[in-house]
Amino acid sequence: MSEFAGTRVIVTGAGRGLGRGIAEAFAAAGAKVMIGARTMSYAEEALAAIRDAGGNAQAFQLDVKDHAQCDALVATTVAAFGGVDVIVHCAAEIAHGGLGAVSDEDLEAGFASIAKAAWWLLQAGRPHLAQASGGGRFIAIGSVNGTYSVVANMTAYGMAKAALDAFVRGAACDVVGERITVNAINPGLVASARALAVLGEDGLAQYGATVPVGRAGTPADVARACLFLAAPSADYITGTTIKLDGGSTIAPASGRSDLLQARLKAQQTH
């Protein structure tokens, strides 16, 4: 029997991309998964895929920028599954752009969807995570941008992800006495719909070739790291981040920055 059999998991941003990959991985490992997504059509597609594979999942529509909706997500999960053992916060809404190129509204959306939502979700989930038999787990999906590296013209994105890292370290101290661990996974480039929108398939392949391990990351890579941190055997790990970037931040750029800047500039002119 899987060590996640019966584990009750919330994944935000689970309608597509990284979040969907994480939700599918937990469901395949035997967990009961609540798919949190803003666009219900995507959530329904993810839900159908999990159920078709024999998994147990439900879906909840929410905008994580709203405190009350984050509370409702947790409450609905508790009502449906009898509790919450793991929360994975993957949702993010932030425009790419440097100083002067991002509106106040978009800047606030980034902080609300990434860092504030993490606060609200852990706050709502705290009493339930504290009752998890194997210890509660809160996992945030961050980024190497803003934490381990800086990418020009992605300043707003990096700021919001850096705030998330600060939250993880502080919140881990707040709840450590309640058998709840709080950690983050900070990926580098991941072959997701968002990355394809910026780079295109050819650009993604070119970028991946410059990564030291020879490829871009995948949602499955991030999902495996989530399963590791969520396992009972990871109860000694808290207040930390897993850098998941194929070695990109410890090796010369080899043209990665120039390629990304060209694609970002092209996207902003359309």
Residues 138, 122 contacting (CB under 8 angstroms): yes
Is 42 designated active site? no
Taking CA atoms, 134 is separated from 26, 34, 122, 137, 223, in Å, by 16, 19, 17, 9, 19
The sign one gets for the Cα dihedral 147, 151, 152, 155 is: negative
Distance between CA atoms of 214 and 116, rounded to whole angstroms?
A: 35
Q: Which of 42, 157, 207, 236 is catalytic?
A: 157
- Measure the N-to-C terminal CA separation of the chain; round to a whole number of Å: 51
**Residues forming the active site:** 157
